[in-house]
Amino acid sequence: MRDLFIEKMYEISKKPYQRFFKKGNAWDININQLIQLPNDSLGFHLGCFLLKYNFEIQPKLEDHDIIHVLTNTGISVVEEIGMQYYLLGNGKRSLYLGMVIITGTLFYPIRFSYFKQQYQRGKQAHEFYGLDFLNMLSVPISNIQQTFNIK
């Protein structure tokens, strides 16, 4: 039940967040273009991720799915919260991230050790959350992960 509540909160907050808080333009790319990139590329892996979960590219939120791909983070509610802890550890600060962490911690206190582990993973990586991922889609994913110590 709490997973459903958290998912509904995300759905309600996503549109205003996209419209009013996300800067920059939506990427002019589709899943078919992504999966035609080299098999070892970040873009190919993003395309596979989107197909695996039957997702579409969310305008102005493309980086979110890239972070899933780079950190090998799943899509369950707890994993989504864990990914925000990862980003916090990596240095990202935003109102949305703070809201997810506070809400997630309150709703899932028994998962705090997992959240703490994700935070530590983020601290160990070199700051990467703000990279221009659109211009990195053809770069081998392993190169990015090694360069930024993403584990």
pTM of structure = 0.87
- The C-alpha atoms of residue 140 and residue 41 are separated, in whole angstroms, by 4
Percent of the chain with pLDDT over 70: 85
pLDDT value of residue 96: 86
Evaluate if residue 114 carries a pLDDT over 60: yes
> Closest by alpha carbon to 37, among 127, 119, 135?
135
Average confidence (pLDDT) over 119-133: 97
Is residue 65 a contact partner of residue 31, using CB atoms and an 8 Å limit? no
State how far the alpha carbon of 135 is from the alpha carbons of 41, 63, 104, 129, 139, in Å: 12, 12, 32, 14, 9
pLDDT value of residue 13: 61
Evaluate if residue 132 carries a pLDDT over 60: yes
